[in-house]
């Protein structure tokens, strides 16, 4: 976002000036801390207006909202009267991405927004539950709380950066003066401790955000006196649901919209839930609990889920539904979403545990890096040994070592690419892919899917190079990201617009983060056009570069 980039540029300029010109003492540090807090306050102050500018929101007067959505209006009136807050501003984004979000400065000037997707896919009770969840963020003052929570790690990061760069400048200027040396060591210590505190603080802030989501879920259950409404709504939003009918969508209206679910206070986190895999429909439009439990098994038992949840602002959907199920007894309700067979389904697919596969995935992901670290370690040991035991350094040994090491890194990268991009493409349905418990970001399922492109990956965002796919069993996020910004932008502007609305055949690799997506190899449209994605091939650039540098090392090894 341009405004964020301008804030970042301003911060960088002031930071450099303060480190270079201000004294390396408490005054310089306090100046940067205060400036950081001012930046945070400025962003807090203008962010609601930026959101209104970026998002194409159709604001609805209360009277019109009450006439169109009396079921949600009842909850709205109840929450406003009970908590003594001002009536929020109400809006709709005309986009079939099923989501809802709230923003503002305080509980008395909140804006609550839902999308057409909420109205399209959810029944009235589920709509009410999602709406009440967002009202929970309002009455709990999460705008202010989360601003403060995320500000603390930023202040710690500022202290760490200030101490680090100040130590660099003071280190260059320091003399034999004992006080200067003590200051230099103190700055280094402050930098290390602050960086550690920053990372811990950031993880804690994410944990607090997830707790706030649980509180908002609990608020929805209290308003409706039924936790099941939000549970089934979450299944449709986070895993997805499609009855036996075509999606009715005005593609032109979808393309005109410019919605992005807000990460902090939306109903779920789009950054950790790329796609809405629709997974649980029988021919009669009835939920298939086996399919839901298979999708939830990934959240509950795949170790990758623990990794993604730790770095997410939102709990994984299955965890939220479990919490809601625990509240059912209080309201005299029987849980409608049952995960009792999820473990058995996971074991049927993957055996007793998925930890062996997870550890192997991590090893393959880090393989080139591990080789590089080992090479660097051997080099350092060789240099130290040459200084201690040998009167001179034999550069031929170093060159040969790096030549061999770079070729090992190249071959390690090839192994990693082969592991991530498997061959053996077979026709699949979305339901087949989403219920695969073993899939991961590294462990792909080569697949061919046929259906229709119904929208962009980021609904209504014209610079989105990704898309949204529908077949007879569900929806799936289509990852077309090439990896080079300008190439992605050109594809988004020139090609995606033409593909939306067409029937397609996609060959690619299905992966699972917290939610499902397919990484494209080839898209063939009904017009006969064929669009190839070369993200896989781009990875070989680093292989070739490693081989070339290794060859240069060998050349100098021969001529020395």
User: Which residues belong to the active site?
Assistant: 134
Main-chain phi, psi angles of 86, to 5 degrees: -75, 155
Residue 158 corresponds to which tokens in the numbers above? 């500022």
Closest CA to 165 of 28, 291, 285, 54: 28
List CB contacts of 140: < 8 A, sequence separation 6 or more.
Answer: 212, 215, 216, 219
Distance spanning both ends of the chain, measured CA to CA? 52
Region of 113 on the Ramachandran plot (φ > 0 left; ψ -120 to 50 alpha; else beta) = beta
- Residue whose token pair is 């007879």: 472
- Residue whose token pair is 């399919």: 291
Q: Are 428 and 449 in contact (CB under 8 A)?
A: yes
Alpha helix segments (H runs only) across 251-354 = 251-256, 289-301, 303-310, 317-328, 342-350
- Residue whose token pair is 């908590």: 83
Task: Return the ∠ at Cα 442 (arms to 437 and 447), rounded to 5°.
Answer: 65
Q: In what order do the strands lie in the sheet with 100-103?
A: 58-60, 89-93, 111-115, 100-103
Main-chain phi, psi angles of 139, to 5 degrees: -70, -25
Residue 264 corresponds to which tokens in the numbers above? 């902090």
Q: How far apart are CA 541 and CA 550, in angstroms?
A: 14
Gyration radius of the chain's alpha carbons: 27
Q: How far apart are CA 453 and CA 225, in angstroms?
A: 39
Task: Return the ∠ at Cα 77 (arms to 72 and 79), rounded to 5°.
Answer: 95
Alpha helix segments (H runs only) across 430-534 = 430-434, 485-491, 497-499
Q: Are 519 and 479 in contact (CB under 8 A)?
A: yes
How many C-beta atoms surround the C-beta of residue 240 within 10 A? 25
């Amino acid at each position: 976002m341009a405004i964020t980039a301008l804030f970042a540029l301003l911060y960088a300029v002031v930071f450099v000036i303060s480190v270079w010109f201000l004294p390396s003492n408490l005054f310089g540090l306090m100046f940067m801390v205060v400036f950081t807090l001012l930046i945070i306050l400025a962003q807090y102050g203008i962010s609601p207006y930026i959101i209104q500018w970026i998002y194409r929101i159709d604001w609805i007067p209360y009277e019109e909202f009450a006439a169109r959505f009396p079921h949600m209006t009842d909850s709205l009136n109840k929450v406003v009267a009970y908590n003594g807050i001002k009536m929020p501003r109400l809006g709709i984004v005309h986009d079939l991405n099923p989501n809802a979000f709230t923003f503002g400065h305080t509980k008395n000037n909140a804006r609550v927004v839902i999308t057409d997707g909420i109205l399209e896919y959810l029944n009235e009770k589920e709509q009410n539950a999602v709406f009440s969840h967002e009202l929970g963020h309002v009455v709990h003052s999460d705008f202010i709380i989360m601003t403060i929570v995320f500000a603390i790690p930023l202040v710690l990061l500022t202290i760490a950066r200030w101490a680090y760069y100040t130590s660099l400048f003071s280190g260059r200027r320091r003399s034999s003066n004992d006080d200067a040396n003590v200051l230099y060591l103190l700055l280094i210590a402050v930098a290390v401790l602050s960086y550690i505190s920053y990372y811990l603080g950031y993880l804690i802030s994410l944990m607090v955000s997830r707790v706030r989501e649980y509180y908002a879920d609990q608020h929805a259950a209290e308003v409706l006196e039924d936790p099941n409404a939000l549970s089934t709504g979450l299944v449709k939003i986070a895993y997805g649901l499609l009855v036996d009918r075509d999606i009715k969508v005005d593609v032109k209206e979808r393309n005109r919209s410019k919605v992005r679910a807000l990460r902090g206070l939306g109903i779920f986190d789009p950054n950790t839930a790329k796609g809405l895999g629709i997974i649980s429909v029988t021919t009669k439009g009835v939920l298939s609990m086996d399919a839901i439990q298979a999708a939830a098994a990934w959240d509950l038992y795949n170790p990758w889920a623990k990794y993604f949840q730790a770095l997410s602002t939102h709990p994984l959907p299955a965890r939220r539904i479990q919490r809601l199920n625990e509240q059912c007894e209080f309201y005299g309700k029987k849980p409608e979403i049952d995960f009792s067979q999820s473990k058995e389904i996971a074991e049927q697919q993957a055996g007793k545990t998925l930890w062996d596969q997870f550890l192997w995935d991590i090893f393959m992901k880090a393989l080139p890096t591990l080789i590089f670290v080992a090479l660097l370690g051997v080099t350092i040991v060789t240099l130290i040994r040459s200084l201690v035991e040998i009167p001179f350094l034999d550069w031929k040994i170093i060159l040969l070592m790096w030549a061999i090491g770079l070729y090992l890194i190249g071959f390690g990268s090839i192994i990693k690419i082969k592991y991530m991009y498997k061959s053996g493409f077979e026709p699949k349905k979305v339901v087949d892919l989403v219920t695969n418990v073993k899939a991961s970001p590294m462990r792909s399922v080569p697949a061919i899917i046929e259906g229709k492109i119904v929208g962009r990956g980021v609904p209504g965002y014209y610079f989105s190079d990704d898309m949204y796919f529908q077949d007879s069993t569900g929806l799936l996020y289509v990852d077309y990201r090439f990896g080079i910004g300008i190439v992605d932008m050109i594809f988004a502007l020139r090609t995606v617009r033409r593909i939306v609305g067409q029937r397609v055949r996609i060959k690619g690799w299905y992966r699972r983060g917290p939610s499902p997506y397919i990484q494209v190899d080839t898209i063939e449209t009904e017009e006969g056009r064929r669009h190839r994605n070369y993200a896989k091939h781009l990875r070989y650039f680093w292989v070739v570069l490693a081989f070339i540098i290794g060859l240069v090392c060998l050349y100098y090894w021969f001529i020395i």
